[in-house]
Amino acid sequence: MFDDEISDRIVIRKSSSEELHLDQKRVHIRESKNGLMGLSYVAPVFEAIEVERFFEDLLTSEKLTMNIGDTGEFPVSFRGLVDGKGKNFPKNLDHKIILLQGSISPDSIMDVQLMGFSKFKPNYTVSE
């Protein structure tokens, strides 16, 4: 169907062109309605240390770009890095949660999804 294969990498890039490559098999992405994304990343300790080093000097709200599977870059803002808890992982694995804010822009398509399609209003009331 597609000429190009979708990559198995998620790439987060700083404005300095420094990149962090994450294996999609180890990432679970959750997004809230307000555009906040949590990238839950479970990986060997040495990879988790690499994630910490990448984000250690970033300020909250610093602009980054994210590319999921080589489908194209989109802008995000850094919101924080949190140690994941709650599951008992082997000692050689670590759990990090990367918080990113997607760009929020009013879009007519989003309005339709939230509000519905129909503007129909009946001119009668249903009695009980």
Specify the pLDDT at position 122.
Answer: 61
Specify the pLDDT at position 35.
Answer: 81
Specify the pLDDT at position 4.
Answer: 65
Which residues have a Cβ under 8 Å from the Cβ of 38 and sit 6 or more positions away?
29, 30, 31, 97, 98, 99
Cβ atoms 96, 52 nearer than 8 A: yes
Specify the pLDDT at position 127.
Answer: 64
Average pLDDT, the chain: 80
Specify the pLDDT at position 67.
Answer: 93
Rounded-to-integer distance, Cα 128 and Cα 108, Å: 36
**pTM score, two decimals?**
0.71
70 closest CA partner among 126, 10, 28, 3: 10
Question: What parts of the chain have a pLDDT lower than 50?
Answer: 1, 108-113
Rounded-to-integer distance, Cα 45 and Cα 11, Å: 19
Q: Where are the domains of the chain?
A: 9-115
**Which numeric CATH code is attached to 9-115?**
2.40.10
